[in-house]
Structure 1
């Protein structure tokens, strides 16, 4: 492939007056044609590709709306005038994007077995033209879940078609262009769920341009790479990026060297063996064709991700005891990195601000730092407390990245791949205004930001937006685990939140390629708002998920402030969970957790895990505890602690069955154990 293209380039570069233009035939369906794009003659993807390639090329648009690859499909491309014209064009390069219309139930179930053979035959037809063109085939642009056939088989059919296209590329030994990414992260470019706008067409044009010219913009690496970065110890160290395919990349780290050649898609990666903690080390990425990347100080240690909403984003400068922390607890071996939203708040977003509501432009990246007071003040208080306590215990460099976004609901952090798997979450995806599954506060904030304008952008709180903008860009960075503080924007429906939370944890483990990724979360604290007691109990039940842990914070809440200021305690508790469960340190990390109840005469006997030294803060009876009979009418209960068991009863209930503790939204629950850590809200309802 490269030799033929190279010959054409040489002919053009020599300046021959008789040099022929390189002909590019864009073969496809309505996406290639430019359906629904105003001024498609100048703004369809082939037209925009022509602009990118310049006058040395002649690009032909041979798209036909509704065309199928299948010969037995409802509108075979083979039978269309566009196909005949593409042959007559005698192209030097052919770009094939077909399959979207084959996925329909009127085509795929009956004829899918012929798809590979039909596609291979089409490739062969073009390859055997007198011009012997280079043929590229494309992974299809997305079909989004708002399409009326999506849940009627199209979702599964689409995946099947994509898989077959990848097989075809291998069988035919042709280059594959991925048009699914990054367009899958821009649903706003697909107003009818299938056809891209001019902006989406430009994305396609850029992808095809890079495939043809092998120009990917030179050496590019993650925005997380920089001075004072931390690599995860004791695990293979993967360094990756983008470069032009004819480049040679050499990476030097801690005295070791690895070399990589970018693939046809521009991607490259080198892998170093697992290393012990240490640093600072020099880190160099050398390119044969681009400017090198030379870093003087990188470290190897422990790396964690801190995420969620405003209580995780809550700054060091705002927490209780900040003066003491800044005086005594700045840790030069803790390296912090912030991803902060460029636009957030209750104001109506300006037109300029709305341009930031895209998955590739929403966050600003701070870079890594360890001892700059200004940066520490602006960093997450909980994340810094967590990392500092971790570092003191482990005695290694600790890197912590925070990308929390105030007010964000759980569904904003889940990928589209995962959200499109259930009818419930598909409903969330495609009805983001006043959906009864969305907390009132969330859509009211969206209304404040967007006003009455009809907009084609997504809101930061919309499902998948923060995954696309805040998680996808960091997936190639290796994190040991995640700490999470979120839920305030999902309290109105705790059952839905539980399903979404489980979905999120599974989703991140799949995308980070770590099936046992530790995920430690903070239970919501106390405040006088509806549902918070019930919600805290639902969070407790999420501990059934493997490799999770929870820091109870009901004792450090505030009756009216949703942002209580005793954040160092929360970070410290999360660190204890991580030290015990991930690093296997022998320490107490949990208050009492409800296990089960027995009925003993007219009392309930309540058993806990982590019950050693079961007691109450300050002595006295257990507060905020109630029992009920089978009628579930709860009354205040009397209590007694004997041998780390809690006995609960009421003279008004002769046959007790149910118990609730800490269910008041702002609770004064005082149950604890030998650690002094609080018991979680619980119920056996």
Structure 2
């Protein structure tokens, strides 16, 4: 009997040790939360792997024939850099060893890694778009890390989520990944970090108060708003799932989405970031409305400079000046602002999303950026249009050209210059090989004005790779706006049937 009791005690002790072993093994070593089983690592660039360990611990990372070591600093932080690797769809093991423990991640691939972020149109489900859902059987090596949607008052070092062998449940992110994988024949990893109703300020680190004046005002007000801060803490620490009211309240705040959902990803190696956001910032032209509170943001006119500062700050965080940003232009939609003329969905003076698109195109002033033109897409009444497939296709074209170096036509005609010829204006385009209209009719959505700033529809004629504009109402037209409206009716494309980008040549104040 005594021997049996002894054996049972020994068994319980052994079982307890087995149960506690993972916690004990990890006590002196952690690896950053973006690293899990099924991960995709970025090809053709150095790959940082990082985490924490007891100060002075030598940490060794082994992967794909490489063996790199680092010593944890006095703060317990360590990081190694794996050398650049070629794409590989064969599963491999990533091992991280400390002085007393080892962590292994199975089934790791090497390919193209992109972060897909933004608000509700990035979150928009695959199941809601039948022609994207139909792509699922043809998807091969596409994996996703979906970041748990939450907030934090301060920048966090870890987040919730894991890599899975499944496509992202985002229509835009999945279709982008699908066509990218098809074109490059490489594994594609998507890190999905998006949340509906969020402004760009929601995804901005606090230190951007030093570079973006209106953001400093917002954060100063946030710091002084004890009621809001207390409510945020109460929601986060309270029961889940959150009510819809609380969920919306959280995602419309500034900075705290970045703290919880982006900061812990830095500096996970990736090719770039796809950004489908802007709707929340279209509720005013000039920004910083007092009411409603969630419209207190950049507005449309300040968005472009804010976007450029945001891109620059992310690149600094990742330590990669060549980190590519693919910005999705807001598609056609019409909800006019009361601050401007009420001239309808196709008129170029209405305060509409036209001004946001102009701001989004400012991203092109930075290197290694692209803007996906969606001026021919959208729904005049629905802020969540279902025509997401062309968005994913066009994103992939730009990524293939920019990231994979393939010489393809990836964008539509862009205004290069406008020449005045007596009573006519001649618009010259880049990316205009095979310039044509989809319906065979004359080009649409061109408007002309002289110094009076009174806009009139232009008579148009397609001549080679130019469009000639005139109007019997104007003796001397000086300025042109194209596709510059909430929901313009456009038909101008190049041989690749990619639409011409909207533009204006005037500097009239809105």
TM-score by length of structure 1 reads 0.60
1-structure distance, mates of 2:485, 2:130: 25
What is aligned with 1:514?
A: 320
What is aligned with 1:663?
A: 484
1-structure distance, mates of 2:159, 2:363: 32
Describe the SS at the equivalent of 2:164: coil
**Contact 1:419–1:426, Cα closer than 8 Å, also in 2:** yes
Aligned in 2, Cα 1:512/1:560: closer, same or farther, shift over 3 Å?
Answer: same
For residue 265 of structure 2, the aligned residue among 467, 474, 496 is 474
Aligned in 2, Cα 1:585/1:633: closer, same or farther, shift over 3 Å?
Answer: same
**Contact 1:625–1:636, Cα closer than 8 Å, also in 2:** yes
Q: Provide, for residues 482-511 of structure 1, a one-character-per-residue CA deviation record: whole Å limited to 9, x for no partner.
A: 111111111223221011101111110111
What is aligned with 1:612?
A: 433
What is aligned with 1:674?
A: 495
For residue 160 of structure 2, the aligned residue among 365, 373, 385 is 365
1-structure distance, mates of 2:44, 2:136: 31
Aligned in 2, Cα 1:533/1:423: closer, same or farther, shift over 3 Å?
Answer: closer
2-structure distance, mates of 1:246, 1:629: 71
| Cα drift, residue 270 of structure 1 | 2.3
Structure 1 residues 64-83: aligned runs within 5 Å: none
What is aligned with 2:205?
A: 415
2-structure distance, mates of 1:545, 1:396: 28
Aligned in 2, Cα 1:575/1:322: closer, same or farther, shift over 3 Å?
Answer: closer
**Contact 2:32–2:158, Cα closer than 8 Å, also in 1:** no
1-structure distance, mates of 2:196, 2:158: 13
Tell me whether 1:338 sits opposite 2:338 in the alignment.
no
| Cα drift, residue 645 of structure 1 | 0.5
Tell me whether 1:487 sits opposite 2:308 in the alignment.
no
For residue 34 of structure 2, the aligned residue among 180, 203, 224 is 224
**Contact 1:340–1:363, Cα closer than 8 Å, also in 2:** no
Tell me whether 1:425 sits opposite 2:215 in the alignment.
yes
Aligned in 2, Cα 1:665/1:428: closer, same or farther, shift over 3 Å?
Answer: same
What is aligned with 1:552?
A: 373
What is aligned with 1:384?
A: 174
| Cα drift, residue 359 of structure 1 | 4.7
Structure 1 residues 243-262: aligned runs within 5 Å: 243-262=53-72
What is aligned with 1:37?
A: none
1-structure distance, mates of 2:254, 2:210: 11
Describe the SS at the equivalent of 1:556: coil
**Contact 2:158–2:264, Cα closer than 8 Å, also in 1:** no
Describe the SS at the equivalent of 1:495: coil
TM-score by length of structure 2 reads 0.79
Q: Provide, for residues 222-245 of structure 1, a one-character-per-residue CA deviation record: whole Å limited to 9, x for no partner.
A: 211111111111222221110112
Q: Provide, for residues 252-300 of structure 1, a one-character-per-residue CA deviation record: whole Å limited to 9, x for no partner.
A: 212332333322111112222222221311111123334x312221111
2-structure distance, mates of 1:607, 1:426: 41
Tell me whether 1:310 sits opposite 2:120 in the alignment.
yes
Structure 1 residues 7-18: aligned runs within 5 Å: none
2-structure distance, mates of 1:570, 1:423: 33
- Structure of larger gyration radius: 1
Tell me whether 1:287 sits opposite 2:98 in the alignment.
yes
| Cα drift, residue 557 of structure 1 | 0.4
Structure 1 residues 268-279: aligned runs within 5 Å: 268-278=78-88, 279=90
Tell me whether 1:528 sits opposite 2:352 in the alignment.
no
Q: Provide, for residues 437-495 of structure 1, a one-character-per-residue CA deviation record: whole Å limited to 9, x for no partner.
A: xxxxxxxxxxx9479xxxxxx94333322222222101021111111111111122322
Q: CA RMSD in A?
A: 2.4
2-structure distance, mates of 1:487, 1:479: 23
**Alignment coverage as a number of residue pairs:** 430
Describe the SS at the equivalent of 1:341: coil
What is aligned with 1:353?
A: none
